[in-house]
Amino acid sequence: MGAAMLSELATEIVVPVCAVIGIAFSLVQWVMVSRVKLTSESHASSANSSKNGYGDYLIEEEEGINDHSVVTKCADIQNAISEGATSFLFTEYQYVGIFMIAFAILIFLFLGSVEGFSTKSQPCTYDKEKMCKPALATAIFSTVSFLLGAITSVLSGFLGMKIATYANARTTLEARKGVGKAFIVAFRSGAVMGFLLAANGLLVLYIAINLFKLYYGDDWEGLFEAITGYGLGGSSMALFGRVGGGIYTKAADVGADLVGKVERNIPEDDPRNPAVIADNVGDNVGDIAGMGSDLFGSYAESSCAALVVASISSFGINHDFTGMLYPLLISSVSILVCLITTLFATDLFEIKVVKEIEPALKKQLIISTILMTVGIAIVTWIGVPSSFTIYNFGVQKVVKNWQLFLCVGVGLWAGLIIGFVTEYYTSNAYSPVRDVADSCRTGAATNVIFGLALGYKSVIIPIFAIAISIFVSFSFAAMYGIAVAALGMLSTIATGLAIDAYGPISDNAGGIAEMAGMSHRIRERTDALDAAGNTTAAIGKGFAIGSAALVSLALFGAFVSRAAITTVDVLTPKVFIGLIVGAMLPYWFSAMTMKSVGSAALKMVEEVRRQFNTIPGLMEGHAKPDYATCVKISTDASIKEMIPPGALVMLTPLIVGTFFGVETLSGVLAGALVSGVQIAISASNTGGAWDNAKKYIEAGASEHAKTLGPKGSDPHKAAVIGDTVGDPLKDTSGPSLNILIKLMAVESLVFAPFFATHGGLLFKIF
């Protein structure tokens, strides 16, 4: 079989060093963003212009606006957004913290009871001749890794939100110097979040493995089974972040749009609109904090799935630490690759005109994918033996290192294909969105019909890409192949997150420009940044959904192996009932989240109407609206409404596994995966297309768009209604579904020992 060229000591050094480089790079980016001053100090110290690199170059007079008052206004608005986002997340984390502790106790009790809380060593699951650590140890360490994953996930989301709210007003101020300067601030801020998350996720996982190894010693099977709790912790927090944040942001957005744009005919982000602060807060808690936790969960789970399968393969049996940590080596190289890629956007090429923004973001994806392909080849060549065996449902399958490279590579390139297909269907540069915009001529109904059709059609190519990835990676390296393919798709996570976070930061920057009363020219620049961000956000969601499909399939394979199921036979009633119920769950979940947004938006619309009708001088701009009430409506609604969908996802595997057994649960997981992926892709793309169709009409950049506009025309009002319908689809239900399919799979894997021993109570009784 041979050994890897990279020694164990080198692996021990490479992984943490790359993680530390990632954290250091994110801090450097943050320092660069912080050079843009938000106080009038920069004017006072303009004589010493080298102090912050800009001096009075930043505070230039523009079109008769007193810039001091503009800077002060921007700072005030930024503070209001930051305070709103922070207070919401703290409230959310209080509830989530209670859940975290309760679920940690549940993990300990369920897994500890497998051997009746015995402290004696037991025969290993996959090799009965060897003795492994007691089930009680797995219970304790799984609980610890669950808490570690949960805390890292919460931290990822919170830090992302803090960085975004720190950068939004700075992006607005830089827009006065030109679109290129504003782009760099927004992109650097996104990079801070991307690198912090990727590096933190890697470092915490690496430290956990090494600390657990002190107790487990040679029992790698038990060690990596306990590590799966890390993925469960990451995704369970992401679920509440995505659902809670999604309900918050869309309740505010729908309320602001329906009353502001459609009824009162005032621009988006107009300071007279009472829901405008809540809307901007929502961008940060949903699109930034929620998405950060979500992608961290995907990363943690794909790593855990690969490690679990590897621990019962030749890597684990022969105690080949370098081969074992192959998933972490890929993540380490990805940090270096994404670092080089980021420099292309921020330092090597400067954006001078609006039309260069979107290509620059797309180039980031292409460059990172090409460089990562080379990186994967190097890691596979030096980090994996020329041939090794992988556990494949009871037998060991011989795999060559070039086959493993192809598994990761196919996942990486499938991610890029899904990204570009998503862009084709959601960017207003292409015909699908323009057709949707054109359908607004005849009203909102045709707009809705065209948008739904576009969403359903956009599922076709991504599903083929995922199917080919699964076939290739499984043929070469069984379930391990699928796990590393998922990791390949997520290997450019730092760049992907930077591009993703850039969108909401630009959106907020535009809102701040509008509220601070800055000139139309600046609003045009921030709108251009935002429009590009909208498309890239859709690309990010495509990545998240595609990787979720591969991750959950890999976790499903690990669960089937751990639960000692030899085959999943669809023809047996136990499995088939699970399959059909599992396929229904994404619909049930979507119904809950959509209705939550609807009922919260209803309250918001009523409150915004009440303020317009009862506050004298509000429409004329003489009186200030009551922003705080709208923020409170969104906060209360999202905290209350995130609990039922969260409970549905978290309790389903526990109930099914305990009462119906592992065969039925395997059916539920397969059904949820198959239907969840389709709904998630179509929901995200439909919503993205409606949003960009509206922006296409508003921008009026082409002759065709001018015939549909201007703002306030009947086609524009129809487009706003489509966008409003699509909001909960693209930002609440769609993105939350990928967490549903991953989370149920990883939860089943963590509880597999309990289900295999004590599950299926109903079938035992009857």
DSSP string, 432-464: HHHHHHHGGGG-HHHHHHHHHHHHHHTTHHHHH
CA 74 to chain centre: 28
Tokens of 211: 């600390």
Q: Which of 696, 655, 698 is nearest to 520 (CA)?
A: 698
474 lies in some domain: yes
Percent of the chain with pLDDT over 70: 96
Distance CA 603, CA 714 (A): 26
Q: Give how many domains the chain has, as a whole number.
A: 1
The per-residue pLDDT for 57 is: 33
User: Which residue has tokens 């009746």?
Assistant: 116
Residue spans of the chain under pLDDT 50 = 40-65
620 lies in some domain: yes
47 lies in some domain: no
The per-residue pLDDT for 751 is: 94
40 lies in some domain: no
The per-residue pLDDT for 44 is: 35
The per-residue pLDDT for 509 is: 92
Residues 6+ apart with CB under 8 A from 633: 251, 278, 600, 603, 604, 607
By three-state DSSP, how is residue 213 classified? helix
The per-residue pLDDT for 103 is: 94
448 lies in some domain: yes
CB 191 within 8 A of CB 133: no
Domain range for residue 85?
71-185+218-316+382-765
CB 253 within 8 A of CB 473: no
The per-residue pLDDT for 304 is: 92
State whether the Cα torsion 475-481-483-486 is positive or negative. negative
Residues 6+ apart with CB under 8 A from 447: 436, 439, 440, 690, 693, 718, 719, 721, 722
Distance CA 194, CA 514 (A): 28
CB 418 within 8 A of CB 678: no
Q: Indicate the burial class of 395 (C-beta count within 10 angstroms; 0-12, 13-18, 19 or more).
A: exposed
The per-residue pLDDT for 1 is: 55
Q: What is the widest separation between alpha-carbon atoms in the chain?
A: 86
The per-residue pLDDT for 52 is: 32
Question: Within a 10 A sphere around the Cβ of 757, how many other Cβ atoms?
Answer: 14
143 lies in some domain: yes
CA 416 to each of CA 97, 342, 421, 554, 685: distance values in angstroms, whole numbers, following the listed order: 36, 17, 9, 20, 16
Distance CA 101, CA 291 (A): 23
b/e per residue 52-78 (b: at least 16 CB within 10 A): bebbeebbeeeeeeebeebbebbbebb
User: Which residue has tokens 């809950």?
Assistant: 592
DSSP states of 640-702: HHTHHHHHHHHHHHHHHHHHH-HHHHHHHHHHHHHHHHHHHHHHHHHHHHHHHHHHHHHH--S
CB 558 within 8 A of CB 747: no
Question: Within a 10 A sphere around the Cβ of 457, how many other Cβ atoms?
Answer: 13
Question: Within a 10 A sphere around the Cβ of 545, how many other Cβ atoms?
Answer: 28
By three-state DSSP, how is residue 388 classified? strand
Helix axes 520-562, 460-489, angle to 10 degrees: 80
Distance CA 64, CA 725 (A): 40
State whether the Cα torsion 68-70-72-74 is positive or negative. negative
CB 755 within 8 A of CB 654: no
CA 382 to each of CA 205, 221, 248, 404: distance values in angstroms, whole numbers, following the listed order: 22, 24, 47, 13
199 lies in some domain: no
CB 578 within 8 A of CB 762: no
Distance CA 637, CA 248 (A): 7
50 lies in some domain: no
CA 70 to each of CA 55, 362, 559, 618: distance values in angstroms, whole numbers, following the listed order: 16, 33, 57, 21
The per-residue pLDDT for 207 is: 95
Q: Indicate the burial class of 15 (C-beta count within 10 angstroms; 0-12, 13-18, 19 or more).
A: buried
